[in-house]
Amino acid sequence: MGEKSSKSGNQIVEQSIEDLQRRYQKLHTKKIQAETQRDGAKNRLDDLKQQARDKYGTDDLAELQRKLDEIIAENARKRTKYQDDLDKIEKELAAVEAKFAETSSIQANSVTARR
């Protein structure tokens, strides 16, 4: 296959032209695969940028981050308001239930007193 020869004290392997062509072909195949992956990633990035422009009006990462921060803050405000509203409803319902229980108790006592 290959012969060994000495060159400046280092052992090197001399390869045949066929071995070199096989090595080149492997490297060429890897290059094509890498380019294909790169092109696919670029196309995907272009698609995502277009989606961002369509949906948010920009594909600028800093602007998208700012918009995301705004959305997160707005969601937090809405969640807090929703929780406060539910707390208020529960408090008012408890007051109505207490009033109803009190009224029912008074009515029951007046019916019992009449007998």
| pLDDT for 69 beyond 90 | yes
Task: Please say which residue of 27, 43, 59 terminates a domain.
Answer: 59
Range of the domain at 35: 1-59
Are 83 and 105 in a shared domain?
yes
Output the average pLDDT for the chain. Answer: 89
Q: Mean pLDDT highest for which of 2-6, 45-49, 103-107?
A: 45-49
Task: Please say which residue of 59, 75, 93 terminates a domain.
Answer: 59
3-state secondary structure of 12: strand
| pLDDT for 113 beyond 80 | no
Cα separation of the two ends of the chain: 119
Average pLDDT over residues 46-54: 97
Q: Pairing between strand 3-7 and 10-14? A: antiparallel
Are 31 and 53 in a shared domain?
yes
pLDDT band, very low/low/confident/very high, at 55 (cuts 50, 70, 90): very high
Are 24 and 50 in a shared domain?
yes
pLDDT of residue 10: 63
